[in-house]
Amino acid sequence: MNIYDIVFYLFAAITLVSAFFVVTTRNIVYSAFNLLFTFFGVAGLYVLLGADFVAVVQIMVYVGGILILILFGVMLTNKITNVQIKTGTLQVIPAVIGVLLLAGVLIFKVFLGTEWKSVKTDIPVKTTAFALGKLLITDYVLIFELLGILLLVVLIGAATIARREK
Amino acid sequence: MQDFYNILPLILVASGIVISVVIEILSDNSEKILPWFSALVLLSASVYSIMLMNNTGTIFNGMLATGGNVYIFHFIFTIGAMLIILGSIDYIKKYGSYFGEYYILILNAVLGMMIMASARDLFMVFIGLELMSICFYVLAGINRKKLNANEASLKYVLLGAFASGFVVYGIALIYGTAQTTSIDKIIAGFVPLSHNILFITGLFLFLVGFSFKIAAFPFHQWVPDVYQGSATTISGLMSTGGKAAAFSVLIILLSAVAPSNANVFRPYFAVIATLSMIYGSIVAISQNNLKRMLAYSSIAHAGYMSIGLASGNYESIAGIIFYLAAYTFMNIGAFIVISMIEGENDSKLQLSDYVGLNAKNPKLAALMALFMFALSGLPPFAGFFGKYYVFISAIEANLTWLAIVGVISSVISVYFYLRVIVLMYFKEPETSVAVHNSNYGVLAAVISALFVIVFGLFPGTLLDLITSFLK
Amino acid sequence: MNIIPIEYYLVLSAFMFAVGITGVLIRKNAIVVFMCIELMLNSANLALVTFSSYLGNAAGQVFVFFVMTVAAAESAVGLAIIIAIFRNKLTVNIDEINIFKW
The topology under which CATH files domain C6-89 is Helix Hairpins (1.10.287)
Q: Do A119 and C54 touch (CB under 8 A)?
A: yes
Q: Does the structure show a pLDDT above 80 at B120?
A: yes
Chain B 181-220, CB below 8 Å of chain C: which residues?
181
Closest CA–CA distance from residue A148 to any residue of chain C (Å): 10
What is the predicted ipTM? 0.91
Q: What is the mean pLDDT of chain B?
A: 87
Q: Is the pLDDT of residue B44 over 70?
A: yes
Angle at C43 between CA C37 and CA C49, to 5 degrees: 140
Which residue, B91, B37, B77, B49, is CA-closest to B329? B77
pLDDT of residue A118: 53
Q: Which residue of C has its CA nearest to A59?
A: C68
Per-residue pLDDT tens digits for B165-214 = 999 999 999 998 888 888 888 888 877 777 788 888 888 899 989 998 88
C53 touches chain A (CB under 8 A): yes
The one-character DSSP state at C28 is: -
- A vs B, Cβ pairs < 8 A, gives 70
Say which of B138, B147, B175 has its CB closest to residue C77.
Answer: B138
Tell me the DSSP string of B406-445. HHHHHHHHHHHHHHHHHHHHHS--S--PPPP--HHHHHHH
Q: Of all helices (H) and strands (E), which one includes residue B93? A: helix B69-95
Whether C16 contacts chain A with CB within 8 A: yes
> For A150, which of B131, B138, B196 is closest by C-beta distance?
B131
Q: Nearest by CB to A38, which of C39, C50, C68?
A: C39
CB-CB neighbors (< 8 A) of C4 in chain A? 4-5, 8, 48
Can you name the residues that pair with B350 across neighbouring β-strands?
B289
Q: Which of B75-84, B445-454, C27-36 has the lowest mean pLDDT?
A: C27-36
Please give the radius of gyration of chain A, using alpha carbons only, rounded to the nearest integer.
20
Task: Convert the pLDDT of each residue in B217-231 to its tens digit.
Answer: 888 888 988 999 899
Distance CA B344, CA B352 (A): 16
User: CB within 8 A of A63, min separation 6: which ones?
Assistant: A36, A39, A40
Query: What CATH number matches the domain at A1-98, 3.40.50.800, 1.20.120.1200, 3.40.50.1980, 1.10.1740.10?
Result: 1.20.120.1200
Question: Does C44 touch chain B if contact means CB atoms closer than 8 Å?
Answer: yes
User: In this predicted structure, what is the pLDDT of residue B434?
Assistant: 61
* Chain A CB contacts of B134 below 8 Å: 150, 153-154, 157
**How far apart, in whole angstroms, are the C-alpha atoms of residue B292 and residue B178?**
42
> Are residues B12 and B18 in contact, defined by beta-carbon separation less than 8 angstroms?
no
Residue A43, judged by CB atoms within 10 A of its CB (0-12, 13-18, 19+), counts as buried
Cα(B283)–Cα(A101) distance, integer angstroms: 30
**CA B158 from centroid of its chain's CA atoms:** 20
CB-based contact, C67 to chain A, within 8 Å: no
Q: Which of B455, B237, B174 lies closest to C44, judged by CA?
A: B174
Are B120 and A142 a contacting pair, CB within 8 Å?
no
Alpha carbon distance B140, B105 (integer Å): 11
Residue B94 Cα, gap to closest chain C Cα (Å): 20
Chain B residues touching C21 at Cβ < 8 A: 165
Average pLDDT on A77-97 reads: 56
Report pLDDT for A82.
Answer: 43
Q: What is the pLDDT of residues C13-30, one digit of tens each?
A: 988 998 998 888 888 788
B5-17 pLDDT per residue, tens: 888 999 999 999 9
Most C CBs within 10 Å, among B63, B122, B168, to test the C interface: B168
Q: Which of B150, B168, B180 has the CB atom closest to C85's CB atom?
A: B150
Residue B106: the pLDDT is 94
How much of chain A exceeds pLDDT 70, in percent? Answer: 78
Candidates B343, B288, B302, B133; CA nearest to C101 is B288
* Chains sharing 3 or more CB pairs under 8 A with chain B: A, C
Residue of A nearest to B169 (CA): A106
At residue A122, does pLDDT exceed 60? no
Q: How far is A7 from chain B (nearest CA, A)?
A: 24
Helix intervals (H) in A58-88: 68-76
Is the CB of B372 inside 8 Å of chain A's CB atoms? no
CA dihedral sign, ordered B371, B375, B380, B386: positive
Q: How far is C1 from chain B (nearest CA, A)?
A: 20
Q: How confident is the model at residue A90 (pLDDT cuts 50, 70, 90)?
A: very low
From C100's Cα to the closest Cα of chain A, the distance in A is 19
Q: Which of A49, A92, A136 sits opposite C62 (nearest CB)?
A: A136
Is the pLDDT at C53 greater than 70? The verdict is: yes
- What separation, in Å, do the N-terminal and C-terminal C-alpha atoms of chain B show? 27
Chains linked to C by 3 or more Cβ pairs within 8 Å: A, B
CA distance B283 to chain A (A): 23
